[in-house]
Amino acid sequence: MSEQGWRQFLAADGSHDWVVLHGGASAVFRVPSLSAAAQLAAAVAEVPGVDNTGVLMTIADDRLTVRLTRGIWQLEQRHLELARSISAVAREHGGVADRAGAQEVQLAIAAKPEEIDVGFWRAALGYAPLDVDNAVDRLGHGSTIWLQELDVAKPLRHAMHIDVSVAREHVKDRVEAALAAGGRIVDDSDAPGYWILSDPAGNRVCICAWPDGATLPSSDDSGAL
């Protein structure tokens, strides 16, 4: 597992349907109906190499969402081949890729290094470990929890914010929509990697083009705290 895997995925031919989010590569395929989404899901399940690889599919009224992994660092060459095969099957079934529909919402919980307790959050939420600093919903429905080390120089003892990961070409639209809805920009020094916004009450959210934009921020997103 390495950064090389997801960067190669982004740069590869035949991966345009897929958006590389915090949780790995995802694709949303629009279809005419719930029945069509179920039929497409069944066809995707028959793609060689899909079974027992952790692929997660979510069916809705007019779309099928396919997630190849639960974490960005798990992306490997074999996932690129799977992505191409799944895209081909989707086209055969009339599915239309919708990059604007792909997103992932992550809750970042920060505390001083000596006070971080990922085990508590896994137990309280019934989540499973994915890496040493996070927890994921076993069903794939809930937001990932990421335990972030709080800068020891900061006066805060703990903090939370939300990360929203979207396709690189749609991140500015999402930021503008949030501003039009009453939000404000707290920090845009790492744009277009991410913007830190807040609601009128001061609650913060990071709207991120990373990793899909493949532009690493100059620092971590501790500025959201």
What does the pLDDT look like over 124-160, one tens digit per residue? Answer: 999 999 889 999 998 888 899 999 988 888 777 668 8
Tokens, residue 220: 């971590």
107 and 214 both lie in a single domain: yes
191 and 145 both lie in a single domain: yes
- The number of folded domains in the chain is 2
- Please check the confidence at residue 221 and state whether its pLDDT lies above 50: no
CATH of the domain at 157: 3.10.180.10
pTM score: 0.87
Point out the domain boundary residue: 101, 131, 161. 101
183 confidence band (pLDDT: 50, 70, 90): very high
135 and 97 both lie in a single domain: no
Neighbours of 134 (CB within 10 A): 24
110 and 191 both lie in a single domain: yes
Residues 88-118: pLDDT tens digits? 999 999 999 999 999 999 999 988 888 889 9
97 and 110 both lie in a single domain: no
Residue range(s) defining the domain that contains residue 20: 3-101
78 and 130 both lie in a single domain: no
172 and 107 both lie in a single domain: yes
Whole-angstrom CA distances from 205 to 127, 167, 184, 202, 221 are 22, 16, 10, 10, 10
Query: Percentage of the chain with pLDDT > 90?
Result: 72
Neighbours of 32 (CB within 10 A): 11
93 and 138 both lie in a single domain: no
36 and 110 both lie in a single domain: no
Q: Are the beta carbons of 83 and 53 closer than 8 angstroms?
A: no
CATH of the domain at 28: 3.30.1360.20
